[in-house]
Amino acid sequence: MTPLHEVIMNKNTSINPVWIMRQAGRYLPEFREIRKDNPNFIELCLNSKLATEITLQPTKRFNLDAAIIFSDILMLPYGLGQRVEFKKNFGPLLGNLDVTTMSKIDEVDFVEKIYQVYKTIKFVSSEMNLKNKNTIGFVGAPWTLLVYMINQQSPKKNVKKDFFKDEYLINRILLIIEKFLKIHIKNQVDNGANVIQIFDSWAGLLEERDYPNYIYAPTLNLVEYVKSLNIPVICFPREIKNYKEFCEVVKPDAINIDYNVDPLIISKNIKIPIQGGLDPKILLTDKENLKKQALKYLDIFKDHPYIFNLGHGILPETNPEMVECLVNTVKDY
């Protein structure tokens, strides 16, 4: 059994596996070399040879316990025919949303459009299995994908003023999202992903009264689906105001916390395995501070099943030497 599975499934507290959100990508010079010749981000995600190379780059540099596929949560709207592009220094831009056309898309067309992602997973998992390490597949949570698809860009602070005006439209889109997320998850698992993480990057935008409709119910459906495939599922409802309630309602196998929550309170209130928490900005400081902050999390969770990670994705300006220092600190604990 892999260290990650030991912690998630066997609730082992004697080890602390480590991987890092966005570990494959922008902070690594070898990634930037590839990126120079491949400016189109979506095309790069759909180049299984390069995406495999990028996914494995951090695992060659650092003693990480898992590879997370180099891909994007927006492969879902892309696979459903919505235009998706990434603008430098701005982020994702999505085209108009045509629900009528989208509702006619079938599974075959969707899978064919993003099939290269599954090929990448197949290549990566054959490599990781040899090392007894995990291959993590992932999806965006329904709420976060809904935000991108309707808002057509990152909401940053809040969604468009009339975002909630057409409830019928929202419910139709959510049904389409859920259907194709299940297809997307199944194909990742069939090709070797042995952990699935669900990223709800914009959970923090909602008021608590809206959690049941937009976060709890749709995410619970996905969590139950992943469990039915006998694969552990980790949820990351970033900046949600009530992690405890989320865990009690949605019941993921493990929960990733963000850096705005108090890890001490989490360790007392949440029974399931915990992942993450460290502020990515700490990797921009110095090694002494980094060790001190990492040890704080390791100490707090020393009697709790815990996977070391960050409270959000690694920042592009991070020095790889700091990542090396972080991974070694966790491994030496």
Residue 111 half-sphere exposure toward CB, CA atoms < 13 A: 15
Residue 19 has pLDDT above 90, yes or no: yes
Give CA torsion, residues 202, 208, 213, 216, to 10 deg.
70
Average pLDDT, integer, range 276-289? 98
Residue 52 half-sphere exposure toward CB, CA atoms < 13 A: 15
Residue 180 half-sphere exposure toward CB, CA atoms < 13 A: 31
Angle at Cα 136 formed by Cα 133 and Cα 140, nearest 5°? 165
Per-residue pLDDT of 27-64, as tens digits, reads 999 999 999 999 999 999 999 999 999 999 999 999 99
Per-residue pLDDT of 104-136, as tens digits, reads 999 999 999 999 999 999 999 999 999 999 999
Is the entire prediction scored with pTM above 0.85? yes
Whether the CB-CB separation of 55 and 8 falls below 8 Å is answered with no
Residue 183 has pLDDT above 90, yes or no: yes
Q: For residues 65 and 16, what is the distance between their CA atoms, to the nearest angstrom?
A: 9
CATH of domain 19-279: 3.20.20.210
Q: Is 71 helix (H, G, I), strand (E, B) or coil?
A: coil
Question: In the numeric block, which tokens belong to residue 220?
Answer: 């619970």
